[in-house]
Amino acid sequence: MSFTLPDLGYDYNALEVAVDAQTMEIHHTKHHQTYITNLNNAVAGTENEDKDLIDLVKNAGSTSPAVRNNGGGHWNHSFFWELMTADSMGAPQGELADQIKSTFGDFDTFKTQFTQAGLTRFGSGWAWLIVNGEGKLQITSTPNQDNPLMDVAEVKGSPILGLDVWEHAYYLRYQNRRPDYINAWWDVVNWNKVSELYQNYK
């Protein structure tokens, strides 16, 4: 199969409160597209050519570094785009809100801990909120384009929220100020999507 670039579902300038339009366009059409191009090249003519993306990601440890890195990059970014909206509620509602309070004490404490996961990820990588193997919420982070679905992940689980902390996700507006980027990003989180994912995996 040939992997293709998914549509964003919103305009590049829709998230200006947190991420500028130029960054969104470059991130989507250049960075994400490069992962897809490299992934298609990496699987061409191999036993992985007909496998779907989730299969490649979950079995990253038994694939080549090119498939692991670019497959992860494609999955992570496809996931990331769906987690943002110009119509963010600012905070989760319903059962997810209750579980966040039960697990972390309150929403602000959760935000602080998730933000720290993004700030303390050395170099490039991602911060995640997952539903772990016990059905509980857990915060973790991964290097590069790894994610918690991978068999090589230190902490495994089903992601329901992910934040790209590679510099290409924020450098044009924020330069080296990763904390400012993360603080602004909370204003565009699509909590409806996060709640939907939580219902799927709880």
Distance CA 194, CA 202 (A): 12
- Give me the residues of the chain with pLDDT under 50, please: none
Identical fold between 21-82 and 94-201: no
Domain covering 21-82 in this structure, CATH number: 1.10.287.990
Q: What is the pLDDT of residue 134?
A: 94
Q: What is the pLDDT of residue 55?
A: 97
Q: What is the pLDDT of residue 1?
A: 63
C-alpha closest to that of 114 among 153, 161, 78:
161
Domain ranges of the chain: 21-82, 94-201
Sign of the torsion angle spanned by Cα atoms 170, 176, 180, 186: positive
C-alpha closest to that of 23 among 185, 173, 123:
173
The answer to whether 70 touches 31, Cβ cutoff 8 Å, is no
The answer to whether 21 touches 52, Cβ cutoff 8 Å, is no
Close Cβ partners of 114 (under 8 Å, ≥ 6 residues apart): 127, 129, 139, 161, 163
Beta bridge partners of 125: 143
What top-level class would CATH report for the domain 94-201? alpha beta
Q: What is the pLDDT of residue 202?
A: 81
Each residue of 58-70: b (16+ CB within 10 Å) or e? Answer: bbbeebeeebbbb
Distance CA 25, CA 44 (A): 27
